Amino acid sequence: MSSFSQRVYEVVKQIPPGRVATYGQVAAYAGNPRAARAVGNALHVNPDPEHVPCFRVVNGQGFLSGAFAFGGLYVQRDRLREDGVEVVNFRVDLARFQWDPQGSLAAGKEPLPWDE
């Protein structure tokens, strides 16, 4: 597994319940802002879905990931709703639900390993 994939998993683990991040956002925090597709590939083969909540990652417009991921649109939608995220027409309002990592990390979350 590449170190980029590991960084992706570490970033996604930081996304708190009730929040989402975009593929591009995860790519940027994992160290390569141009690697949104690579984030999707890494999450598609997530080795630890119990601890890496990849269902919290959506596209840049807030749309869910598509039928191929997480067991399908309905599964991702239901997981997000259970998490406290409002999903309307398979889309999340990023203005309301997008993760602010600086705020989360400042509020006591562990720093990402490469930030230390």
Q: Which of the residues 54, 58, 80, 87 is marked catalytic? A: 54
54 is catalytic: yes
Find the farthest-apart pair of alpha carbons in the chain and give their distance in angstroms, rounded: 40
Is there a contact between 56 and 20 (Cβ–Cβ < 8 Å)? Answer: yes
- Angle between helices 36-44 and 3-14 in degrees, nearest 10: 80
Extended beta strands in 21-82, E state? 21-22, 57-58
Nearest to 49 by CA among 13, 86, 16, 15: 13
Q: Which residues are catalytic?
A: 54
